[in-house]
């Protein structure tokens, strides 16, 4: 490929800009990681710093007591994220496909039906009554997967939009003239041609599952179903209570000095690092451009 | 309809498509539409002895607290203006990042870029508010201690001056969401047929012209859909951003109070589901009406791009 | 996707519009005698600030061994963390799920005005005699007045040291270093001189800080309440209070009392005794003290052991000195109350259990500390400690931080190191602390919900700035009061005055 001078300037400009963007994204996180290894008193006296005066593992030692609970919570979170994302992605794209077909009689009706769910909600109580009293999902893994997160209007509309603007209609027509059914067209043509958007929506869903603690708050009363975020939220709240000073009168003598700011930072690290491990390999799906000309033949 | 294949019967064509849509529709029906009956709670004075259904109707009483306050104007203005800024700036910055990123990725390979885009979005508002405080607090904050003081500039009291916060909040929101938002555009760009660019190049089009004449027009449908979605939520706001990040500082209310923070502060002690349902319904209705109007306008200009 | 199941469920859900929600409501006059043979099961939701173990069955079994044997009631024991508790219990109550016994999560009167709780009078007379006896003994015969609305008792306050006089909590080494002793501190007026000396001796140390953050609270309001006998009349906004015994409901923030208090704080703030960001800091005084960066704060504590506790917690030599008495208004007593849900199918069993919860030493301590030998070991009659090699995080079960939440403190074991005489002191102070003449008045907010919500918002906006001195009262107070009046403070005060007058008339005062 020949590069013109204009192109080279452009690439240079892009590289500098993106360098800055990436730096802006990573630096605060680095600060969090460093803070989680900083001695609590140093955090309070000297403030947050990339080069703290005193390092300490106290925050992680405090969390070590719950190591087993952490491992299990990671397990729950991974399971819920994987299953939820897989099922959700399937349902979402299956729904988006007919909506993307301009020759489908109800495509606009469906779009409206889906969009409407993004605006109005009946609130927590009616949902709770329905899920617990009619579907009996309380204290099951399903309660972490099914309510609210399985599909949402935003993702459906994203996929529909991609189908609509990036997959040419003649491609679908020619397949169907060859006798392909709708199901076959969907799985054999739409999905393979839409890897970038599926990866995007999969990423959004996966993050939503990973970061969710609301479902467990509503539908789970047994700690063994707690995912990592619930564990973190709970630990955080306990620390906040213990440090509030109001707790004093209720405390026994054996209490300890809690590295509270550092622990919060450590917990943020524990919640984020698994995602950072998983993301780089996923990246290639997002960027897998499609040469439609080749498919068209 | 432009394309019709033989049409043996309308049903034979729509049925298979409906089948594909069925699981998703069923899910929305159960998860979203059935509980929507709950909106009637907004018009009830809930009395648990009578049960939710038999409680007394109170008309629009539950809505009053949203308007009978001197903050009504401030919180509505703030919510609207911040959302407008977020929509416009967010779209521009996200597309900018997406275009640069996709250009670069054709040239060099970095395993980190996706992490970079997603990372700010992963930091919770509570942790973020602690970081922001570490930067801005008056006594030992990074900005005062390490930037303004050495430069001999007057130190600023960030948490008591409302005027700084529109900029701060927009900046923080962009930092947190722009990268994440660019992923959508990024996927759209990846899905553009490369042969179009090749053809343009042969015609002698430079990079900027390719972007202007190919990339941007092809991103337009995505921009419109995302824009409409945001307009539907224009009366809503990210509670964490407006409550936790300014640390609930009273002096900042004039620029940080939004409808959501007001509802939270107002109902903290009352714990009244009727009133909170009323607030939610009000926000949804305004968003809904706006979307219907804007969508109609879009439809008039180009029916292809309309949301529904 | 399982469509068949989905459809079936859908049909059922359609019934939602009809009978479902009403089916799970309404007070249930208990029909079963509950005397012999039949074991009834009730749900008991307990807040715990400790790590919640995965498997509660061991402790639940131990609890049931006691309750089934003594009262023929089986307990479905639920333990929730502080953040989950309100959410989970409220959802259960709102959705009509089984939930029999729970504790106050918001304001007591809200539960009553929404008919969420069961009136206990008749059942108490029948099944709660031992409980009322111990409440009389530990607090005084007037305790249940704090939970009585329209002549009906709706809840039982936790039985503990209720008097929380404001203590000045300080780093003792710094006090000594500044050339002062505890004897020099008698009231808040003595503090500025101490702060000044501490500040001079330790320029990097913040002399004084807010006990709670987000929103920041220096306990100024509680200090004024105790010192000047202010009754907040059960709602926490402070807009409708009575000062002293004149029976006149006024806006606390319009009084000279509050103005002077805010001026004092402003003075402290201006002299640099508080951090510039005291109103918005994210770091609590406890953390600041532990890191050696702060000298003192004000806290409300029962008993006299708090200095010792905080020393252990912070690793610094911390002492506490009381500087203001306590004043019992209704809200101070019913803040933590146990209630029976109005949807309970077995209110009798619930009251029997409540009775045991306040009177059975073994039950209380099983709930708090678990099983002897496994979760704790006894040191002497009143004291326990963790088994060797265990601490609060590694022991299989403990809810030791919930001592102030459940049961009767006089029957609870104390942790090793806590002096037993402190418990006796707390009980004595329960009886000796002055009651407000309006003790027992409970404000029904339901008529002024709109005003309360707007007022809450205004208080949130101005109060943290005023109690930390970061806002100047001379310019801010008039704005604050005006905003309160715009938000409907007058309606609130009027409604409160009417209710108070009625209440006084009904009391024959």
The gap from C-alpha B109 to its chain's centroid, in whole angstroms, comes to 31
Quote the CA–CA distance of B238 and B247 in Å, as a whole number: 14
* pLDDT in the model for residue A250: 44
ipTM of the complex: 0.90
Question: Apex CA B201: angle with CA B200 and CA B205, to 5°?
Answer: 75
| Contacts B48 to C, Cβ<8 Å | 25, 93-94, 114-116, 342-343
What is the CATH number that goes with domain C8-162+332-431? Answer: 3.40.190.10
- pLDDT tens profile C352-394: 999 999 999 999 999 999 999 999 999 998 999 999 988 777 8
Residue A44: is its pLDDT beyond 90?
no
Q: What is the pLDDT of residues B264-307, one digit of tens each?
A: 988 877 778 899 999 999 999 999 999 999 999 999 998 888 88
Q: Which chain A positions have a beta carbon within 8 Å of B131's beta carbon?
A: 28, 31-32, 48
* Cα C83 from chain centre: 15
Establish if B35 touches chain A: CB-CB under 8 angstroms.
Answer: yes
Model confidence at C4: pLDDT above 60: no
- Closest-CA distance, B183 to chain A, in angstroms, reads 7
Q: C31 pLDDT exceeds 70?
A: no
What is the structure's pLDDT at B213?
Answer: 92
Residue pair C97/C341 in contact (Cβ under 8 Å)? The answer is no
State whether residue B18 sits within 8 Å of chain A by CB: yes
Residue of B nearest to A282 (CA): B114
Q: What is the pLDDT of residues B138-195, one digit of tens each?
A: 877 888 888 888 888 888 889 888 999 999 999 999 999 999 999 999 888 988 888 8
Distance of CA A25 to the CA centre of its chain: 17
Of the candidates C156, C114, C139, C133, which has an alpha carbon nearest to the alpha carbon of residue C334?
A: C156
Q: How confident is the model at residue C231 (pLDDT cuts 50, 70, 90)?
A: very high
pLDDT category of residue C226 using cuts at 50, 70 and 90: very high
> Rounded mean pLDDT of chain C?
87
Which phi and psi (to 5°) does residue C396 adopt?
-60, -40
Top pLDDT among A67 and C475 is at C475
> Tell me, what's the pLDDT at A273?
92
DSSP line for A159-224? HHHHHHHHS-HHHHHHHHHTT--HHHHIIIIIHHHTHHHHHHHHHHHHHHHHH--HHHHHH--SGG
**Are the Cβ atoms of A249 and C312 closer than 8 angstroms?**
no
Q: How confident is the model over B103-116, as a mean pLDDT?
A: 76
At A293, is the pLDDT very low, low, confident or very high (cuts 50, 70, 90)? very low
For residue C404 the two structure tokens come to 């102030």
Task: Render C232-273 in DSSP notation, one character per residue.
Answer: -TT-TT-SSBEETTS---B-GGGSHHHHHHHHHHHHHHHTTS
Instruction: Write down the pLDDT at residue C493.
Output: 96
Chain C: touching chains (3 or more CB pairs < 8 Å): A, B
Nearest residue on chain C to A66, alpha-carbon basis: C393
What would the mean pLDDT of A235-244 be, rounded to a whole number? 72
pLDDT at C314: 80
Q: Rounded mean pLDDT of C315-328?
A: 92
Q: A65-69, B19-23, B85-89: which has the minimum mean pLDDT?
A: A65-69
A11's enclosing H/E stretch is helix A5-36
Q: In this complex, how many residue pairs, one in chain B and one in chain C, have their CB atoms less than 8 Å apart?
A: 161
Structure tokens at B206: 């430079």
Question: pLDDT band for position C235 (50/70/90)?
Answer: confident
pLDDT at C21 over 70: no
**pLDDT of the residue at C9:** 39
- Residues making up chain C, counted from first to last: 509
Contact between residue C156 and residue C337 where contact means Cβ atoms under 8 Å apart: yes
Pairing of strands C230-231, C242-243: antiparallel
**Which residues does chain C have within 8 Å of residue A237's beta carbon, measured at their own beta carbons?**
81-83
Written as six digits, the tokens of B75 are 């919180």
Element (H, E) at C286: helix C285-290
How far apart, in whole angstroms, are the C-alpha atoms of residue C68 and residue C443? 38
Whether omega for the bond prior to residue C346 falls within 30 degrees of 0, making it cis, is no
Contacts of A193 in chain B (CB under 8 A): 191
d(CA C399, CA A252): 11
Residue C26 has pLDDT above 70, yes or no: no
Contact across the interface for B69 and C13, Cβ inside 8 Å: no
With 0-12 CB in 10 A as exposed, 13-18 as middle and 19+ as buried, what is A85? Answer: buried
CA B43 from centroid of its chain's CA atoms:
28
Ranked by mean pLDDT, the top range of A67-71, B105-109, B168-172 is B168-172
Neighbours of B307 (CB within 10 A): 25
Determine the 3-state secondary structure of C159 from DSSP: strand
pLDDT, tens only, C110-136: 888 888 899 998 999 999 999 999 999
Residue C2: band (very low, low, confident or very high) from pLDDT cuts 50, 70, 90: very low
The answer to whether C299 faces chain A, any CB pair under 8 Å, is: yes
Q: Which of C370, C367, C309 is nearest to C338 (CA)?
A: C367
A122, A193, A274, A280, best to mutate vs chain B, most B CBs in 10 Å: A122
**Which residues in chain A touch residue B187, judged by CB atoms under 8 angstroms apart?**
162, 196-197, 199-200, 286
The first and second tokens of residue C231, run together, are 């009754």
Q: How far apart are CA C235 and CA C239, in angstroms?
A: 9
Q: Which two tokens stand for residue B155?
A: 């130190």
Return the partners of chain A (3 or more C-beta pairs < 8 Å). Answer: B, C
Please compute the mean of the pLDDT values over residues A53-61 and round it to a whole number: 88
**pLDDT number for residue B288:** 94
Q: Check whether C5 has a pLDDT greater than 70.
A: no
Question: What mean pLDDT comes out for the span A277-291?
Answer: 79
Rounded distance between C-alpha atoms, residue A160 and residue A190, angstroms: 11
CA angle (C176, C178, C183) in 5-degree steps: 55
Helix, coil or strand: residue C453 = helix
Q: What is the pLDDT of residue A292?
A: 53
Does residue B276 sit at the A interface (CB-CB below 8 Å)? yes
Instruction: Give Cα C448 distance to the centre of its chain.
Output: 24
Nearest CA in chain C to A251: C401
Q: What pLDDT score was predicted for residue A147?
A: 94
Whether residues B105 and A287 touch (CB distance < 8 A) is answered with yes
SS (H, E, C) chain B: CCCCCCCCCHHHHHHHHHHHHHHHHHHHHHHHHHHHHHHHHHHEECCCCCCCCCCEECCCHHHHHHHCCCHHHHHHHHHHHHHHHHHHHHHHHHHHHHHHHHHHHHHCCCCCHHHHHHHHHHCCHHHHHHHHHHHHCCCCCHHHHHHHCCCCCCCCCHHHCHHHHHHHHHHHHHHHHHHHHHHHHHHHHHCCCHHHHHHHHHCCCCHHHHHHHHHHHHHHHHHHHHHHHHHHCCCCCCHHHHHHCCCCCHHHHHHHCCHHHHHHHHHCCCCCHHHHHHHHHHHHHHHHHHHHHHHHHHHHHCHHHCCC
**Bridge partner list, C156:** C338
Cα torsion A124, A127, A130, A135: sign: negative
Q: What is the pLDDT of residues B234-253, one digit of tens each?
A: 999 999 999 989 988 888 99
User: Chains that contact B by 3+ CB pairs under 8 Å?
Assistant: A, C
- pTM, rounded to two decimals: 0.88
Express each pLDDT in A255-269 by its tens digit.
445 667 888 889 899
Average pLDDT over residues C297-311: 87
Residues of B whose CB is below 8 A from C457: 69, 71, 262, 265-266
Burial pattern A193-228, b for ≥16 Cβ within 10 A else e, equals bbbbbbbbbbbbbbbbbbbbbbbbbbbbbebebbbb
Query: What percent of chain B is predicted at pLDDT more than 70?
Result: 96
% chain B with pLDDT above 90: 54
Q: What is the DSSP code (8-state) at residue C143? A: G
Residues of A within 8 A of C407 (CB-CB) are none
Are B66 and B267 in contact by the 8 Å Cβ rule? The answer is no
Give the strand pairing for C414-415 and C383-385: parallel
């Amino acid at each position: 490929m020949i590069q013109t001078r204009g192109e080279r300037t452009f690439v240079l400009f892009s590289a500098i800009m993106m360098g800055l963007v990436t730096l802006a994204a990573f630096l605060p996180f680095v600060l969090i990681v460093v803070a989680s290894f900083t001695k609590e008193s140093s955090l309070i006296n000297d403030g947050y710093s990339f080069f703290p005066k005193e390092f300490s593992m106290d925050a992680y030692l405090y969390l070590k007591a719950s190591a087993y609970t952490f491992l299990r919570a990671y397990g729950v979170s991974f399971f819920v994220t994987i299953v939820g994302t897989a099922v959700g992605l399937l349902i979402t794209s299956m729904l988006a496909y007919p909506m993307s077909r301009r020759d489908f009689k109800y495509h606009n009706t469906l779009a409206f039906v889906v969009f409407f769910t993004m605006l109005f909600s009946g609130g927590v109580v009616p949902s709770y009554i329905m899920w617990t009293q009619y579907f009996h999902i309380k204290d099951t893994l399903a309660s972490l997967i099914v309510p609210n997160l399985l599909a949402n209007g935003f993702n459906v509309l994203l996929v529909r939009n991609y189908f609509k603007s990036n997959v040419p209609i003649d491609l679908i027509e020619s397949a169907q003239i060859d006798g392909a059914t709708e199901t076959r067209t969907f799985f054999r043509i739409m999905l393979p041609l839409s890897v970038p958007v599926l990866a995007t929506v999969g990423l959004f869903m996966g993050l939503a599952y990973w970061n969710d603690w609301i479902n467990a708050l509503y539908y789970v009363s047994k700690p063994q179903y707690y995912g990592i975020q619930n564990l973190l939220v709970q630990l955080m709240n306990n620390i906040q209570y213990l440090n509030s000073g109001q707790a004093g009168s209720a405390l026994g003598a054996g209490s300890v000095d809690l590295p509270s700011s550092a622990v919060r930072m450590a917990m943020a690290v524990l919640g984020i690092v698994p995602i950072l491990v998983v993301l780089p390999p996923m990246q290639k799906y997002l960027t897998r451009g499609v040469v439609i000309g080749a498919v068209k033949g | 309809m432009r394309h019709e294949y033989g049409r043996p019967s309308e049903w034979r064509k729509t049925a298979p498509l409906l089948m594909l849509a069925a699981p998703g529709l069923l899910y929305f029906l159960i998860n979203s539409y059935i509980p929507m009956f709950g909106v009637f709670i907004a018009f009830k004075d809930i009395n648990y002895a009578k049960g939710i259904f038999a409680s007394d109707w109170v008309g629009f009483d539950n809505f009053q607290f949203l308007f009978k306050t001197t903050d009504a104007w401030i919180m509505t203005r703030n919510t609207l203006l911040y959302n407008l800024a977020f929509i416009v700036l967010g779209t521009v910055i996200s597309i900018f990042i997406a275009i640069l990123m996709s250009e670069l990725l054709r040239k060099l390979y970095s395993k980190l870029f996706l992490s970079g885009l997603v990372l700010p979005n992963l930091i919770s508002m509570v942790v973020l508010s602690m970081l922001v405080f570490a930067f801005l607090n008056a006594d030992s904050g990074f900005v005062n201690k390490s930037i303004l003081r050495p430069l001999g500039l007057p130190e600023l009291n960030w948490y008591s001056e409302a005027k700084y916060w529109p900029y701060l909040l927009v900046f923080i929101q962009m930092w947190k969401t722009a990268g994440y938002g660019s992923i959508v555009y990024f996927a759209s760009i990846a899905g553009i047929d490369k042969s179009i660019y090749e053809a343009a190049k042969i015609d002698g089009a430079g990079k900027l012209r390719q972007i202007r004449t190919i990339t941007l027009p092809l991103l337009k449908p995505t921009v419109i859909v995302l824009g409409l979605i945001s307009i539907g939520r224009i009366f809503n706001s990210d509670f964490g951003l407006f409550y936790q990040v300014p640390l609930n500082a009273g002096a900042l209310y004039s620029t940080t109070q939004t409808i959501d923070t007001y509802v939270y502060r107002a109902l903290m002690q009352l714990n009244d589901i009727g009133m909170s349902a009323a607030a939610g319904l009000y926000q949804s209705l305004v968003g809904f009406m706006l979307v219907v109007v804007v969508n109609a306008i879009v439809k008039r200009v180009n029916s292809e791009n309309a949301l529904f | 996707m399982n469509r068949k199941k989905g459809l079936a469920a859908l049909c059922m859900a359609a019934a939602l519009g009809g009978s479902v929600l009403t089916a799970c409501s309404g007070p249930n006059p208990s029909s079963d005698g509950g005397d012999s043979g039949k074991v009834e099961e009730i749900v008991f939701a307990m807040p715990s600030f400790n790590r919640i173990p995965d498997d509660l069955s061991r402790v639940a079994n131990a609890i049931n061994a006691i309750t089934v044997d003594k009262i023929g009631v089986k307990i479905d024991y639920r333990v929730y963390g502080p953040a989950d508790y309100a959410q989970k219990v409220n959802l259960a109550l709102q959705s009509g799920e089984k939930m029999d016994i729970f504790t106050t999560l918001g304001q007591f009167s809200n539960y009553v005005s929404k008919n969420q709780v069961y009136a206990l009078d008749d059942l108490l007379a029948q099944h709660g005699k031992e409980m009322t006896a111990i409440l009389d003994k530990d607090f005084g015969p007037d305790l249940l007045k704090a939970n009585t609305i329209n002549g009906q008792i709706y809840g039982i306050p936790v039985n503990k040291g209720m008097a929380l006089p404001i203590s000045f909590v300080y780093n003792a080494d710094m006090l000594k270093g500044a050339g002062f002793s505890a004897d020099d501190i008698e009231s808040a007026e003595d503090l500025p001189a101490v702060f000044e000396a501490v500040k001079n001796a330790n320029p990097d140390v913040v002399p004084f800080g807010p006990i709670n953050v987000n929103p920041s609270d220096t306990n100024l309001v509680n200090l004024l309440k105790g010192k000047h006998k202010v009754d907040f009349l059960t709602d926490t906004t402070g807009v409708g209070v009575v000062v002293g015994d004149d029976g006149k409901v006024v806006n606390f923030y319009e009084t000279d009392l509050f103005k002077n208090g805010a001026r004092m704080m402003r003075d402290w703030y201006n002299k640099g005794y508080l951090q510039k960001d005291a109103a918005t800091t994210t770091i609590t005084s406890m953390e600041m003290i532990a890191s050696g960066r702060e000298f003192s704060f004000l806290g409300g504590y029962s008993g006299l052991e708090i200095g010792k506790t905080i020393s252990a917690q912070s690793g610094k030599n911390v002492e506490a000195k009381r500087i203001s008495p306590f004043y019992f208004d209704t809200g101070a007593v019913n803040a933590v109350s146990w209630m029976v849900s109005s949807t309970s199918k077995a209110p009798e069993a619930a009251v029997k259990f409540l009775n045991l919860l306040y009177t059975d030493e073994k039950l209380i301590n099983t709930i708090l500390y678990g099983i002897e030998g496994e979760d704790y070991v006894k040191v002497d009659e009143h004291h326990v400690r963790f088994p060797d090699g265990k601490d609060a995080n590694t022991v299989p079960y403990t809810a030791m931080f919930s001592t102030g939440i459940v049961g009767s403190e006089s029957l609870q074991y104390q942790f090793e190191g806590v002096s037993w005489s402190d418990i006796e002191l707390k009980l004595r102070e329960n009886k000796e602390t002055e009651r407000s003449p309006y003790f027992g008045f409970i404000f029904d907010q339901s008529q002024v919900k709109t005003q309360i919500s707007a007022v809450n918002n205004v208080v949130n906006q101005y109060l943290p700035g005023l109690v930390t001195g970061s806002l100047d009262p001379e310019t801010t107070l008039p704005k604050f009061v005006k905003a309160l009046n715009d938000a409907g403070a007058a309606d609130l005060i009027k409604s409160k005055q009417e209710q108070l007058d009625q209440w006084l008339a009904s009391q024959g005062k």
